[in-house]
Amino acid sequence: MTVAVETRSVGRPRPALRSKRRRQRLTVLAFLTPWLLGVAIFFVYPLIDTIYLSFTRYDLLSAPKWIGLTNYQFMLTKDPQVVQAAYNTLWLVVILVPARMLFGLAVATLVTRLKSGLGVFRTVFYLPALVPPVAGVLAFVFLFNPATGPVNQILGALGLPEPLWFNDPSWSKPSLVLLGLWGIGDLMIIFLASLLDVPKEQYEAAALDGVNPWQRFRFVTLPNISPVLMFAAITGVIAALQYFTEAVVAASVASGQATTGGGNSALLGYPEGSTLTYAQWLYVMGFKNYYLGYASALAVVMFVVSLGVTLILLRRARSLVYGAEGTR
């Protein structure tokens, strides 16, 4: 105890030093101020406000009115659309994210094996990722138009079944997955960089050990690219939870309502609600029907789910990612 007191006494800086440190802290604070203001105004305040609004009835045009848990009660017991929207979103998380990762990894692996024309193929596979999402969806829906699209014409010529694609509730989500695979360039490029970064000597050592291709992938490639895979999984899940533009545009074009200006929200999620995502429903309730309080409650739930999923993935990363804390 005595020692501690002495230590503090000995360690206490002189007034001149304290003044210098205070100036240094103020300097740091001054540099941080723009960022702190930005976070406070554009992040913390909206965050707190959304949580508050989720307990109110608020239509944007009149002052919010406190209604307690009514919005949450409605969400859990009286809103069939939110169930449909949550199911569709979960479907996309479970199917679209792994599908994109697997396909992206397969394409990247394929490209690394090319003896020549690497640049050409890399560009070809990456190009769709440069297309603006709305334009890409428009083109895709026209390609897969069940009556006039070339895809069905080819399938028909081959004597194969011609699905209704975006016009069939059974095919609409798989069609969105195909759209996601078409625009795989963003994932492919980071997987490609990661694959090319795997040390060659590890492959050489593995070859000397006589491993087969699967063992080579499982014990050499996968551990090296696992941080990138985890990054792709986390960002993919978050993007899928907020999936919006592609679903809205595909539904409006396929339903034939693309040019009605305000849009026909009765056909939201066309066909039969199969493309209605959680983020879409949040938008419709908030900015079309002006149930801003309810939309805020939806946003809070989305926040909690996103947080939970991200935490779980990060926790799992400890055991899945090579070199992460506490592993291997």
Partner 1 sequence: MSTIRGRRRTLAVSAAAAGLALLASGCSGSGAGDSTASAASSAPAKLTGTVTFWHFFTDREAASIQKAVDTFVAANPGVKVDVKSGQDDDKTIQAIAAGQPIDVVLSYSTDQIGKFCSTGAWQDLSSYIKRDGVDINQIPTVVRDYTQFDGKRCSMPMLSDTYGLYYNKKLLADAGYSAPPKTMSELSAMAEKLTKLDGKGAIQVAGFVPTFGFYENAPAHFAPSFGATWFKADGTSNIGSDPGWASMMTWQKKLVDFYGYDKLTRFTAGLGQEFSADNAFEKGKVAMIIDGEYRNAFIKAEAPTLEYGTAPFPTDDSKANLYGAGYVTGNVIGIGRGAQNPEAAWALIKFLSTDTDSVVAVANGIKNVPTTIPALQSPALEKDANYQTFLDVFANANSTTTPTTASGKAYQDTLGTFAEKWQSGKIPDLAAGLTTVDQQINDQLALGSAP
Q: Please, what is the minimum distance in Å from the beta carbon of residue 203 to partner 1? A: 30
Structure tokens that stand for 326 in this block: 């506490």
**Closer residue to partner 1 (CB): 81 or 224:** 81
Structure tokens that stand for 112 in this block: 């690394």
Distance in angstroms (rounded) separating the CA atoms of residues 220 and 230: 16
**Closer residue to partner 1 (CB): 151 or 206:** 151
List, as own/partner pairs, every contact residues 282-290 make where C-beta atoms lie below 8 angstroms and the sequence separation is at least 24, other chains included.
Answer: 283/244, 290/59, 290/60, 290/61
Residue 256, Cα to own-chain centre: how many angstroms? 28
Q: Please, what is the minimum distance in Å from the beta carbon of residue 231 to partner 1? A: 11
- Helix residue spans in 197-242 (DSSP H): 200-208, 213-216, 222-241
Q: Please, what is the minimum distance in Å from the beta carbon of residue 21 to partner 1? A: 23
Q: Please, what is the minimum distance in Å from the beta carbon of residue 65 to partner 1? A: 8
Q: Please, what is the minimum distance in Å from the beta carbon of residue 28 to partner 1? A: 19
Non-local (6+) Cβ contacts of 228 within 8 A are 190, 191, 193, 194
Q: Please, what is the minimum distance in Å from the beta carbon of residue 309 to partner 1? A: 8
**Closer residue to partner 1 (CB): 20 or 318:** 318
Count helices and strands (H / E) in the chain.
17, 2
**Closer residue to partner 1 (CB): 188 or 295:** 295
Cis amide bond preceding 271, omega within 30? yes
HSE of 44, CA atoms in CB hemisphere, 13 A: 7
Distance in angstroms (rounded) separating the CA atoms of residues 283 and 260: 18
Q: Please, what is the minimum distance in Å from the beta carbon of residue 132 to partner 1? A: 20
**Closer residue to partner 1 (CB): 185 or 273:** 273
List, as own/partner pairs, every contact residues 44-50 make where C-beta atoms lie below 8 angstroms and the sequence separation is at least 24, other chains included.
Answer: 50/296, 50/299, 50/300
Q: What are phi and psi of 164, to 5 degrees?
A: -85, 0
**Closer residue to partner 1 (CB): 220 or 233:** 233
**Closer residue to partner 1 (CB): 107 or 250:** 250
**Closer residue to partner 1 (CB): 101 or 258:** 258
**Closer residue to partner 1 (CB): 145 or 226:** 145
Strand ranges inside the chain, DSSP E: 56-57, 65-66
DSSP structure class, residue 260: S
Q: Please, what is the minimum distance in Å from the beta carbon of residue 285 to partner 1? A: 8
Q: Please, what is the minimum distance in Å from the beta carbon of residue 239 to partner 1? A: 10
Distance in angstroms (rounded) separating the CA atoms of residues 165 and 146: 7
